[in-house]
Amino acid sequence: MKPVDEQLYQVYLLRLWRHSTDAPWRVTLESTESSRQRHFATIEALARFLETAAAADDHH
């Protein structure tokens, strides 16, 4: 197993909320490294972003 400082990983703070019980979930994903926030209108949009980010890392 590689030492932690040689492993490739991404760490995010995930926030899920909705305005009422019948409203769709909203998502904010914040990078713990850069503090950059990304907002998603649906959980599906979040999943697409994570799949794309993981695939991009696989190609480096």
**2 falls within a domain:** no
User: Per-residue pLDDT tens for 11-50?
Assistant: 999 999 999 999 999 999 999 989 999 999 999 999 999 9
Domain that holds residue 28: 9-43
**14 falls within a domain:** yes
- Residue 51's pLDDT is 93
**53 falls within a domain:** no
Number of other residues whose CB lies within 10 A of the CB of residue 27 = 20
pLDDT tier for residue 4 given thresholds of 50, 70 and 90: low
Number of other residues whose CB lies within 10 A of the CB of residue 36 = 10
- Residue 59's pLDDT is 58
**56 falls within a domain:** no
- C-alpha 37/C-alpha 49 separation (Å) is 13
Decide if pLDDT at 56 tops 90. Answer: no
Decide if pLDDT at 1 tops 90. Answer: no
Structure token digits, residue 38: 């990304």
Number of domains comprising the chain:
1
**50 falls within a domain:** no
